[in-house]
Chain A
């Protein structure tokens, strides 16, 4: 009898709790390592805030007046997912692999997924922390309206976190050294920052439009936008129930990315340096 074949039982719950305990234990150690790496911390904390501020200030005065708090938070969320979570995790996974840390972790009770989740935990926590603080600040100081559909905001953040963490694992697979990570991490970073964040996907026309829509970042932004403002990327305002309908495509695209990246990770991820 296989454990997987069992229905949801006490034993499953126990196993899941044990899994969470293992991930948290590893995550705590990773958080200590992040705290002791001033460079990574500065990039992680400074980049999203700095980029968001720079983009807002860079707008012409007329446009700036229209920029509202929700847009700033969505922008910040995108940069947090990219620079804090994704970039950090690529570097961290490569460094841990080259130091044989991943191999050692894998020789214990942690499953492969738990090793990756534990490694991603602190960076994800910092990214989420920034988004939460920015949202609270938005409410307090910048007349941020309550999100139209908070479920979609959270869904967007969760799917964005999962997709970019898994993409980090995929990129780490083809990266042989921490130095090389500065190069290999770029395509995902630049593409995600340009298409969707700097140039909205709907501004891209022709066949490139379809391609842009297939990328993960525009879809994360679409979910956040729908959730916060209740309007689609096309600019149409819809009611709460209709936002769910508009969320279907982004969710499917992101789940597809997550599935593909997970498959690639399971298939090709290297747990130790090349011999």
Chain B
């Protein structure tokens, strides 16, 4: 193969591919936030809830961890959401957009995984913490908000960085329902230019760089919120 041709093709494709980064980042940020928003309460319910609630959380986690992302994309985009958006109540909400479907799928799945991360972090805290808070006269919800979660969220950051890199890779599946992120653009350009080799490498490099940037950013965050005496080891 001719490296000059390959290089030039990659060079030309770069701006278009980088345009996909916006969509990819949008997917990840949306999914991580949704995952966090749902994951924290799910974790709290999983640890402190009454047993039917704990059971329900387990089923939720089992469902989203057991069904492949790709299949979920199809269920949500081609199935549930297109059906919902056909109903007058939900029409005009943009539920039929591939981006919304992809964020929902990635976010819900992530919430299942994140709830497990936070549950582990909460359970790794010494039991004395909750007792001490109760002894001060706090109610359980107060104790969880003021004492347990601030510690658990810090402990969860290393696992969160792992979750980020998983989401980043899974987000590439959004192309199957038509989100024009990096993978979708790579496929399109590869087929028009007949340069699939340089295009896969280009896409690979972009994903690699995004992984690196995200992991770096999260470790900066970890340092920023660090409390003296709290170390990474504590998160195991």
Q: Do A and B come from one complex?
A: no
Chain B interface residues (CB < 8 Å from chain A): none
